[in-house]
Amino acid sequence: MLALSTCIWCRKTKKLLSSLGLAYEFVDVDLVEGKERDEVLQTLSKWNPDGSFPTIIVDNSRCIRGFDEEEIKGLAA
């Protein structure tokens, strides 16, 4: 998941994923620097050209943009 450390929707998404017992990794984009930041922004552009947060990349095959509670809950099914 690509997130912002200051984003309420990103925090809600992390909380929901945890409450569903789903393992996930995240990067707070606003906290990375240098080459790593460039790589993260390139990944964001690939999966979510609008650049909105949160951006959840699922199994490197699909993307959930924003806090879509029903779609996120569907990951636990």
The residue length of the chain stands at 77
Average pLDDT for 51-58: 96
Domain boundaries, the chain: 2-74
Q: Give the single-character DSSP code of 59.
A: T
CA 57 – CA 13 distance, rounded (Å): 13
Give residue-wise pLDDT tens across range 9-54: 999 999 999 999 999 999 999 999 999 999 999 999 999 999 999 9
Average pLDDT for 43-67: 96
Q: Give the single-character DSSP code of 31.
A: G
Q: Does domain 2-74 have CATH number 3.40.30.10?
A: yes
Neighbours of 13 (CB within 10 A): 25
- pLDDT of 77 > 90? The answer is no
